[in-house]
Structure 1
Amino acid sequence: MKLVKVLCALVLVLMLGQQTVFAAAPAPTPAKANEHSSTMKVTFYSDSLHKEMQLNVYLPPNYDAQEKYPVLYVLHSYKLNEDHWFDTLKMKEQADALIASKKITPMIIVAPRIENSFGVNSSKELGYEEGSGNPGDPGVLNKGMYEDYITKDVITYIDTHFKTIQSRNSRYIGGTSMGGFAALHIGLSNPLLFSKVGGHAPALFVGDMWAPLKNLVYPTDEIRKHNDPLLLAASQKLNKQSIYLDCGDQDDFIAATKQLDKVLKMKKTKSYEFHVIEGGHHDDAYWSSQMENYLMFYGATDHH
């Protein structure tokens, strides 16, 4: 009987030993998901413009590892489209490098097509500004509800399809040239939507203007109060917004940008910075050279 008990105990010890060895075996290492950043082109229907529109989306590396992200909206120059920031200005590569070095927080970046609209609400019906060219011309001015398209359709689409922090504190807008005008106009007139606003060599107008453009953005004094970044800077409450303005000293828009700077210097803002870049022209080389500074403004980590 004792022998049976000893044998049973021995078998139990062997079984426990086998279980222990099995439990201690290393688990397979899961493959890293979305280790690299990604970009995608999206086509969606805009209720404000009554047509399909395109936008590009940048998702940071390891997108699935985080529950929610801040969002930066970037607007393109005149005659260009949603590809400008990523293809020509190489924003993706700069964002990847700054995220990898932990200089900026991972963020979603959205580049929507705004056509040649200057981002204003100019007409309930889609169309073209008389005298600006024929439909299909690269420079023809587009009429429509483009501010609503950005502030309602684009933001709603991004917030419902991606992992965004749906708060003004984590929503930023910036642009180059025409897109800089649009970002300042939309950002400053919608302080409850955007906490950071950037005008990067913005196309600002203080004197004589091309007549079709004036008819598009400043058709009346009352509409100008809502659309003109200089008048908005003077009239709006900006104490909860951070604003970044820059322009090359060789840029034709430098005089108008300096006028906006004078207005903003007198205003109470959360933060404000103005950079005049020596030798800078109104071109892709200029914006590319400043991309790291732009991204640092929008997304710098606390310890930078």
Structure 2
Amino acid sequence: MKLFKALLCVLVILLVVGVGQQTSIAASSNNPRTSSTMNVKFYSESLKKDMNLNVYLPPNYDAQDKYPVLYVLHSYKLNENHWFNDLKITEKADELIASGKIEPMIIVAPRIDNSFGVNSSEQTGFIKESGNPTDEGVLYTGKYEDYVTNDVISYVDTHFNTIKSRQSRYIGGTSMGGFSALHIGLRHPGLFSKIGGHSPALFVGEMWAPLEKLVFPTKEARQNNDPIALAASQKLNKVSIYVDYGDQDDFKEAGKKLDQVLKGQKVKSYEFHLGPGGHHDDAYWSSQMENYLLFYGGIDQD
């Protein structure tokens, strides 16, 4: 009966246009005993445009009513496919769930454009100095923090069997996505219980001028957007945080500034790792995927 209801729900989503929102879903598997992934397009009220996200449903999804959710954010110049296609998080999740090392969970990879996950303007657009709208590296403006914390979470909690509490909601990301996950997670400790910055693109000193215009246009914006500043100012006693870099990563020195701050804070748990020989690339992040998933969803093996 649960499987029938789940399939019926997907069919309704495909056929119905909601008030002010259109949704489309393409699923990769119809076998309830295996995991499945979905490509979803939905309308974001915060950005006033259609956005994409990928969803991973664990094996035997219909076997239990509710699941924790891990949100993963992509690197600069990439999209919602990064974690699923390039970093192979779904394959590693299948393996670790099957071996009993992590709890079954839903994994969501939303597109965040080249926005760094901040609320940079009321209107969605782009920083002209960063390029043309069709350029791969153009920086996007808009209410991207609100998009993640309001639109994405609301959509997922409405359409999938989620545990709707901070204790079972996690967020992480790589590079730009690592900055975004730390920024959003540290700004909203009431929404997330675990926050991961995987080679987060943090900045101290001089920056590319268009990027500074996007994320730190004023001193006040820096206090609100910079993960290092947020780590110093936010109440984090109920949050678990994981930060890592490859030891060949150019961002690691800025990461050490964050490490110094977090070591002085009262945090539920905190880990900082430097991976020997690791660079700022997919090869390093893929090599660490088991560690990442064990942080977010690890089951005590004792």
The answer to whether the superposition gives a TM-score over 0.5 is yes
Inter-partner Cα distance in structure 2 for 1:206 and 1:238: 22
List runs of 5+ in structure 2 lacking aligned partners: 1-29
Inter-partner Cα distance in structure 2 for 1:38 and 1:61: 7
Match of 2:273 in 1: 275
Given residue 111 of structure 1, which amino acid in structure 2 is its aligned partner? A
Contact kept? 1:119, 1:147, Cα under 8 Å: yes
1:161 aligns with 2:159: yes
Any idea what the Cα deviations from partners look like across 1:226-247, whole Å, max 9, x if unmatched?
1000000000000000000000
Given residue 89 of structure 1, which amino acid in structure 2 is its aligned partner? L
**Superposed, which structure 2 residues align to 1:163-242 within 5 Å?**
163-242=161-240
Match of 1:80 in 2: 78
Given residue 83 of structure 1, which amino acid in structure 2 is its aligned partner? N
Inter-partner Cα distance in structure 1 for 2:92 and 2:139: 31
Any idea what the Cα deviations from partners look like across 1:189-235, whole Å, max 9, x if unmatched?
00000000000000000110000000000000011111000000000
Match of 2:242 in 1: 244
Inter-partner Cα distance in structure 2 for 1:302 and 1:164: 22
1:47 aligns with 2:45: yes
Contact kept? 1:191, 1:238, Cα under 8 Å: yes
Given residue 283 of structure 1, which amino acid in structure 2 is its aligned partner? D
- State, as a whole percentage, how many aligned pairs show the same letter: 72
Deviation at 1:301, TM superposition (A): 1.0
Q: Per the alignment, in what secondary structure is the counterpart of residue 224 of structure 1?
A: helix
TM-score (structure 2 length as normaliser): 0.89
Match of 2:55 in 1: 57
Match of 1:102 in 2: 100
Of 134, 137, 140 in structure 2, the residue corresponding to residue 136 of structure 1 is 134
Runs of 4+ off more than 6 Å = none
Given residue 265 of structure 2, which amino acid in structure 1 is its aligned partner? K
Inter-partner Cα distance in structure 1 for 2:249 and 2:198: 11
1:111 aligns with 2:109: yes
Q: Per the alignment, in what secondary structure is the counterpart of residue 256 of structure 2?
A: helix
Given residue 40 of structure 2, which amino acid in structure 1 is its aligned partner? V
Inter-partner Cα distance in structure 2 for 1:276 and 1:74: 20
Inter-partner Cα distance in structure 1 for 2:288 and 2:89: 10
Inter-partner Cα distance in structure 2 for 1:70 and 1:121: 26
Inter-partner Cα distance in structure 2 for 1:153 and 1:264: 29
Structure number with larger C-alpha Rg: 1
Inter-partner Cα distance in structure 2 for 1:253 and 1:221: 22
Inter-partner Cα distance in structure 2 for 1:271 and 1:149: 28
Inter-partner Cα distance in structure 2 for 1:283 and 1:303: 31
Match of 1:34 in 2: 32
Match of 2:146 in 1: 148
Any idea what the Cα deviations from partners look like across 1:7-35, whole Å, max 9, x if unmatched?
xxxxxxxxxxxxxxxxxxxxxxxxx9610
Of 272, 278, 297 in structure 2, the residue corresponding to residue 299 of structure 1 is 297
Deviation at 1:119, TM superposition (A): 0.2
Match of 1:19 in 2: none
Q: Per the alignment, in what secondary structure is the counterpart of residue 288 of structure 2?
A: helix
Report the count of equivalent residues.
273
Any idea what the Cα deviations from partners look like across 1:71-130, whole Å, max 9, x if unmatched?
000000000000000100011110000000000000000000000000000011111112
Contact kept? 1:33, 1:64, Cα under 8 Å: no
Q: Per the alignment, in what secondary structure is the counterpart of residue 129 of structure 2?
A: coil
1:288 aligns with 2:286: yes
Any idea what the Cα deviations from partners look like across 1:229-273, whole Å, max 9, x if unmatched?
000000000000000000011001010001100000001100000
Q: Per the alignment, in what secondary structure is the counterpart of residue 39 of structure 1?
A: strand
Given residue 129 of structure 1, which amino acid in structure 2 is its aligned partner? I
Given residue 224 of structure 1, which amino acid in structure 2 is its aligned partner? R
Given residue 271 of structure 2, which amino acid in structure 1 is its aligned partner? E
Inter-partner Cα distance in structure 2 for 1:230 and 1:190: 15
